[in-house]
Amino acid sequence: MLTLTCPCCGITADETELHPGGEAHLKRVGPGSSAEAFETYLFARSNPKGVHFERWRHAYGCGKWFLAARCTATLEVFGTYLAQNAAPPPEILAAIRARRPDWTPTAIAPRDPEPAERPNE
């Protein structure tokens, strides 16, 4: 039962007040995209053990979506930030590096939907 602080209203909410939305920083591809790119967008998720970026909605609160950086193994929360960020902002990256010096952001940063550039494969 996590607690996350909504960056939109500043309230530290209980997990039961939040709605999860899966992995953050997916880039939408639409009509005209290749089958591979669209498959990646729809189905490929990083699911790391460790640092992860997620979408959450403060459903029973201000109703806003926000993003959270946390460790899926220890549940440590490195920070939360506004959903309009296309990539984790510098202060979030700094907070992660302070706690996980060995972490490499390239493995998890926004992935280009083209499979050739997917570092996880």
Assess 106 for contact with another protein (CB under 8 A): no
Interface segment toward another protein; rule CB under 8 A; list 44-52, 53-61, 103-111, 113-121: 53-61
Both tokens of 2, joined, read 């996590």
With a CB cutoff of 8 Å and minimum separation 6, the contacts of 91 are: 79
Print the binding letters for residues 81-100 with another protein: x by CB under 8 A, - otherwise.
--xx--------------x-
**What are phi and psi for residue 91, nearest 5 degrees?**
-70, -30
C-beta closer to another protein: residue 32 or 101? 32
What is the rounded distance in angstroms from the CA atom of residue 112 to the CA atom of residue 99? 26
**E strand or H helix at 41:** helix 35-43
Assess 8 for contact with another protein (CB under 8 A): yes
Assess 21 for contact with another protein (CB under 8 A): yes
- The correct pick among 20, 45, 72, 75 for binding another protein (CB under 8 A) is 75
Q: How far is CA 76 from CA 38, 51, 84, 113, in A?
A: 32, 9, 23, 28
Q: Residue numbers of the site for another protein (CB under 8 A)? A: 1-3, 8-14, 16-17, 19, 21, 28-33, 35, 38, 41-42, 55, 57, 59-65, 71, 74-77, 83-84, 99
